[in-house]
Structure 1
Amino acid sequence: MLNFDVDRFVRIQSDALAVEPRLKEVVTDLVNGGAENLFFLGAGGVMFLTQPAFQLLQAKSLFPVYYEMGAELVERGNPRLGERSIVVTPSLSGTTKEAIAALEYAKKAGATIITFTGHADTPLAEMADHNFTTFAEDDTSSEMFYLETLLVALALMNARGEYDAYDETVAELKQLPALLVDVKASFEDRAAALAEEIKDEDYHLITGAGSTWPEAHYYGMCILEEMQWIRTRPVHASDFFHGALELLEDGVSIIILNGEDESRGLVDRVIEFAPRFTEKVRILDTKDFELPGISQATRSLISPVLLATVFERLSAHLEVLRDHPLTTRRYYKKLVY
């Protein structure tokens, strides 16, 4: 596979899943100790990676859960954030200034803070009551944060008696690192072909629903826009028919992400519609990826993980074909803003 270190990838994802015993203990103690709500709180695109866990808790648990953009929370507040709140914040660098300000705000409110970082000895690691540092870099962090925040949701529901298959699900998740390598390998030829196909295109609609929507938003904003300077229009599949459909015509590219949760039908509707008006329809469907030994119940939880892992292959080819390294920036962390 192009520019890919198998051992490094497996090690990083295995280390991410290895936080499970301590994370389960922390979450269980907080729930049993009287926690009343949970906030996913942070800044930037990494927050999108917490949305599948947030959605899972919204749909399957009666425990109050909130999703807050850190900068906005600091400006307007939230009366539900307090001493019986759990705050979960991911940050690869551990230094994002908006996330630091948000955690300072949460600490003043008395919340218990859990952070997931890619580096220790950083402000966000040190501010936490419970920090889980797993070394990662941009090309491996999406899967890592998806999995770690999923473990938070599963542990919380398990502690409340709302999820009976915790042990079975965790056992299956721990098989994923090696299986994801196989998924990448199976997608490599398609990634190369797709990169060649889109390398000169400067605009894409990108859509998904349920747990695939956060990955559509993330890949459009944080990879294609930030790292490749390609304009995108991320739009939720259920909103597609309230505006974005009018942009479809010959030559317009649409990238459609389909997963295996209850929202699949919303994406199917776009898949049926789009080819009537543009020939540039690119569909990534997690059902196409083989995962031996992984149950359908677990597959329904990890659609964004699968999409992130194959998108990394597309990105690896794009940066070579476009002679535009993924690390190149003009403004991001280059200027004061």
Structure 2
Amino acid sequence: MATDLLNFDPARYLRIQSGAVGLAEQIDGVVADALGSGVTKVVFAGAGGAGILMQPAADLLRDRSTFRAEVVLPAELVVTDPAWLGRDTLVVIPSLSGTTAESIAALDHVKAAGARVLVLTGHEGTPLATKADVSLVNFAEDDTSCESFYLQSLLLALSVMARTSALDDHAAVVAELERLPALLLEAKAAFEGQALILAEAIAADSWHIVTGSGTTWPEAFYYGMCILEEMQWIRTRPVHASDFFHGTLELVEPGTSLLLLKGEDATRPLVDRVERFVSGLTDKVLVLDAAQVELPGISPATRALVSPVVLAALLERVSAHLEVLRDHPLTTRRYYRRMAY
């Protein structure tokens, strides 16, 4: 069934996402070494979309453990030189290309301060990969990197939690994640018809409000900025569901397009609230709900963790149709090469 998907290679997809989950043991080893050497905090420092994808892992550590974790912007980290940076810090730098200029500068800066650096990348032998203390490579490309980075950062957070007594069933959760790549492939195939409908709706408007909460907010931010804006030149207003009622609600009128991303964590009611408010104000409300996806064998607790992974898998199908409908390949950029990324 998955072989009928537009511009999609199922074997490649399965290989890449299975490769991400297959890094579980190596990631756990990195965490064990870091904690054993006195690391007391983990900082995720990715540029652009790669950095956004680290947010669910950092939030998981913040909310479910006492281990300090945060997401920082590489360019800002270099110019502010935060006082907390030092030998007790594990800095995780995701970069698909391994050549991101801002990330290279950040790596040099944090290493000079004595921090340990783990790079997650899609390519070996790149500047980031060779400069890191540890580099974990899982080949991916733009259309597959989202789920890969989500899974790798989740595995790191789970390992930290397990090794700091904040998670008892680490092995069981990892075992469930190992089943996920094949299930995501099935989900993509089941969603293909809906993906076309959603792509047609997005293509029909020149701008969209995109919202989510909890684990789905980073995906809303990522899809609005990195896919619709960067890759399709469609104007968006990504806004957290919590902030929707502190300004963005005033933009809603008949004909306003909204894309709501729903997950399965405790923050889901925040997106439900947005949906209730806009109903009747506009007829252009697009809802993508991770809870509607069949994931046999995945427990409710794990489903809550992987909502952004599931939504990323479905939205890739939307993007595949969108570039055809708009005759605008996802690889087309105006200024990308000028930024030296």
TM range (shorter): over 0.9
Q: Is the 8 A contact 1:31 1:160 kept in 2?
A: no
**65, 76, 79: which one aligns with 1:72:** 76
Correspondences of 1:180-259 after superposition (within 5 Å): 180-259=184-263
Question: Could you report, residue by residue, the CA deviation over 1:289-329 in whole angstroms, capped at 9, with x for unpaired residues?
Answer: 00000000100100000010000000000000100000000
Distance 1:40 1:156 in 2: 14
Match of 1:301 in 2: 305
Describe how 1:33-112 pairs up with structure 2 within 5 A: 33-112=37-116
| Alignment size in residue pairs | 337
Residue 335 (structure 1) shift: 5.6
1:145 Cα shift?
0.1
Kept in 1: contact 2:53–2:219 (CA 8 A): yes
* Alignment check: 8 A CA contact 2:46 2:52 kept: no
Displacement of 1:186 in angstroms is 1.1
Aligned to 2:125: 121
State the secondary structure of the residue aligned to 2:45.
strand
Separation in structure 2 between the aligned mates of residue 37 and residue 126 of structure 1, nearest angstrom: 23
1:277 correspondence with 2:273: no
How many Å separate the matches in 1 of 2:102 and 2:48?
A: 8
Counterpart of 1:27, as a letter, is V
Q: Cα–Cα, structure 1 residues 32 and 336, in superposed 2: closer, same or farther, change >3 Å? A: closer
Residue 157 in 1 paired to residue 161 in 2?
A: yes
Q: What is the root-mean-square deviation in Å for CA atoms of aligned residues?
A: 1.1
Q: Which runs of 5+ in 1 are unaligned?
A: none
CA distance 1:295–1:336, shift in 2 (3 Å): closer
3-state SS of 1:139 partner = coil
Q: Residue deviations 1:224-272, cap 9 Å, x none?
A: 0000000000000000000000000011100000101111111110011
TM-score calculated relative to the size of structure 2: 0.97
Output the TM-score relative to the length of structure 1: 0.98
State the SS of the aligned residue for 2:120. strand
Residues 6-54 of structure 1: CA deviation (Å, up to 9, x unaligned): 0000000011111111110110221133112111112111100000000
Residue-by-residue CA offset, 1:84-125 (whole Å, 9 max, x unaligned): 110111000000100000111100011111110010110111
Q: Tell me the CA shift for residue 276 of structure 1.
A: 2.2
Which residue identity lines up with residue 147 of structure 2 in the other structure? E
SS at match of 1:4: coil
- Describe the SS at the equivalent of 1:260: coil
CA deviation vs aligned residue, 1:114-151 (integer Å, no higher than 9, x gap): 11001011011111111100100000000000000000
Deviations along 1:36-76, one digit per CA (max 9) or x if unpaired, are 21111121111000000000001011111121100001111
Do the aligned residues in 2 keep the contact of 1:32 with 1:159 (CA within 8 Å)?
no
- CA distance in 2: counterparts of 1:221 and 1:197, whole angstroms: 18
Kept in 1, the 8 Å contact 2:101–2:340? The answer is no
Match of 1:144 in 2: 148
The 1:259–1:66 alpha-carbon spacing in structure 2 relative to 1, beyond 3 Å, is same
Q: Does 1:266 align with 2:270?
A: yes
| Identical aligned residues as a percent | 56
| Distance in 1 of aligned mates of 2:18 and 2:132 | 23
Tell me the distance in 2 between the aligned counterparts of 1:328 and 1:5.
21
Q: Deviations over 1:180-217 (max 9, x none)?
A: 00110111000011212221311000000001000000
Task: Report which stretch shifted further, 28-37 or 64-73.
Answer: 28-37
In structure 2, the partner of 1:329 is: 333
SS in structure 1 of the partner of residue 117 of structure 2: strand
Match of 1:6 in 2: 10
Q: Say which is worse superposed, 325-334 or 225-234, in terms of deviation.
A: 325-334
Q: Is the 8 A contact 1:92 1:119 kept in 2?
A: yes
Given candidates 176, 187, 194, the residue that maps to 2:180 is 176
Is 1:166 aligned with 2:179? Answer: no
In structure 2, the residue corresponding to 1:241 is in which secondary structure? helix
Gaps of 5+ in 2: none
Question: After TM superposition, which residue ranges in structure 1, 4 or more long, deviate above 3 angstroms?
Answer: 334-337
